[in-house]
Amino acid sequence: MLRLFLLLNPVYITLFWCLVLCIKVKGSSPKGFLGKFMAVCVCIYLSHLLYYLPLPTAYHYADSPYQLCNLLIFPMYYIYIRLLTVDEVFLWRKHGLYLLPAALMFVLYGAGVLCMSKDEHLNYLYRSLCHLPDEPLSGIFLYQKTVYSICRVVFIIQGLVYMWLSFRLVVKNKDNVQNYYANTEDDTLSKVHWLNITLLVTISFGIVLSALGKESFMSGDAKLIVPSAVISVMFFIIGLLGNKQRQILTDNRVEEKANQSETEEQNNEANTAQLTQIGLKVEQLFGEQKIYLNKDLTIWEVARIAGSNRTYISQMINNNFKQNFSSFVNAYRVQHAKTLLKENPGMSKTDLAEMSGFGSVLSMQRAFRAVENS
């Protein structure tokens, strides 16, 4: 009973987040992809369930898909981070390259399984891998053991490589957020940092487990307690943070979404006359139309309304006001909040933040501190 409980924990956690993220997707490519990531994890831990109970007849059919799913989790996680930061949607021709090693190893491993009878395969899984065979492995069994060892090495390498790439990608894009978005309380990549830390723990633990091999946990239920607890907690955190984190695109290609040409985006300099005209238009939008009250305001929206592009708007704000986009917008919001507070001294902080365009009270408080200390 203890073994069944420990084996089911990761299945429940990943299945829960798979359903939540897929149901709540509503056009959100990152959340939808994270839901698929969780679906792959469900397959992995269902396979564990079949292997460790043990249910050998059922696991015979799950073995090859298990190897595929196990090698998919790290590249899929990295693709998810890319969808949060630089890639608008998943594209097979682009992101499929990250999945090729897993597909190749699946073919090699599956070929070995097909070359064995069912009894030979089960004997290999539950005897040859778990105990030293009486005689050295040869033929198809040696081939399968070799491919299995390569799968474990590929798993470890992928974990280390994609961990480094994920951290690098988030750090690279973190500073750009304030140049693109106004409410950085909701738009920062802080949750992604915690996702990456969770990934680091999961990868480190996964590397240890992979080095030991799943066959080493066959004897004794107690050996499954720590893996079950760590894996369940890590995937719960990944699901929780992923459910809260929204897509924060900071790559210049996202401007195509705002129907701006690549030629415009490649212009690094605007002449003085252009910047002056843009500045007057932006001041009108903020001073008269008060577009800063839109809590979801982005620099692309400002560029669209002003009839310009992100590059020119950003250049104008940096040159004329010595600020990034977020600071520029929040300065207007802080002034608006002060006016509201003077007219309505009893207004609650929640109402004040909402009516001033801030995403939250915390975001408003940080903006006030930033403006008053500048």
How much is the pLDDT for 265?
A: 45
Identify the domain boundary among 193, 217, 250: 250
pLDDT band at 161 (very low <50, low <70, confident <90, very high): very high
Helix, strand or coil, per DSSP, at residue 213:
coil
Name the residue type at position 243.
N
Residues 199 and 267 in one domain: no
Respond yes or no on whether the N-terminal peptide bond of residue 54 is cis (omega within 30° of 0).
yes
CATH of the domain at 215: 1.20.1070.10
The pLDDT tens digits for 188-236 are 556 777 877 887 788 788 778 777 776 677 667 788 888 888 889 999 9
User: Using the 8-state DSSP alphabet, how is residue 53 labeled?
Assistant: T
Please state the domain count of the chain. Answer: 2
How much is the pLDDT for 249?
A: 67
pLDDT band at 268 (very low <50, low <70, confident <90, very high): very low
d(CA 116, CA 97) in angstroms, rounded, equals: 30
Q: Greater confidence, 66 or 3? A: 66
Residues 245 and 291 in one domain: no
User: Using the 8-state DSSP alphabet, how is residue 259 labeled?
Assistant: T
Residues 167 and 265 in one domain: no
Taking the C-alpha atoms of 195, 199, 202 and 204 in order, what is their torsion angle to the nearest 10 degrees?
Answer: -140
Provide the mean pLDDT of the chain.
83
The pLDDT tens digits for 142-156 are 999 999 999 999 998
Identify the domain boundary among 204, 223, 250: 250
Residues 186 and 273 in one domain: no
pLDDT higher than threshold 70 for residue 92: yes
pLDDT higher than threshold 60 for residue 260: no
How much is the pLDDT for 266?
A: 43
pLDDT higher than threshold 90 for residue 17: yes
Residues 263 and 173 in one domain: no
Residues 243 and 291 in one domain: no
How much is the pLDDT for 204?
A: 80
Task: Quote the percentage of the chain above a pLDDT of 70.
Answer: 85
Q: Which of 12-16, 108-112, 188-192 has the lowest mean pLDDT?
A: 188-192
Q: Which domain holds residue 18?
A: 2-250
Residues 161 and 282 in one domain: no
Residues 187 and 96 in one domain: yes
Cβ atoms within 10 A of the Cβ of 240, count? 16
CA-nearest of 121, 108, 4, 149 to 59 is 121
Residues 207 and 95 in one domain: yes
CATH of the domain at 334: 1.10.10.60
d(CA 17, CA 51) in angstroms, rounded, equals: 23
Residues 226 and 356 in one domain: no
Range list of H helices, the chain: 2-23, 29-52, 56-85, 92-114, 118-123, 139-174, 177-180, 184-187, 190-212, 225-244, 262-265, 272-287, 299-306, 310-321, 325-343, 349-355, 361-373
Residues 107 and 77 in one domain: yes
How much is the pLDDT for 187?
A: 47
Residues 192 and 236 in one domain: yes
Identify the domain boundary among 216, 250, 284: 250
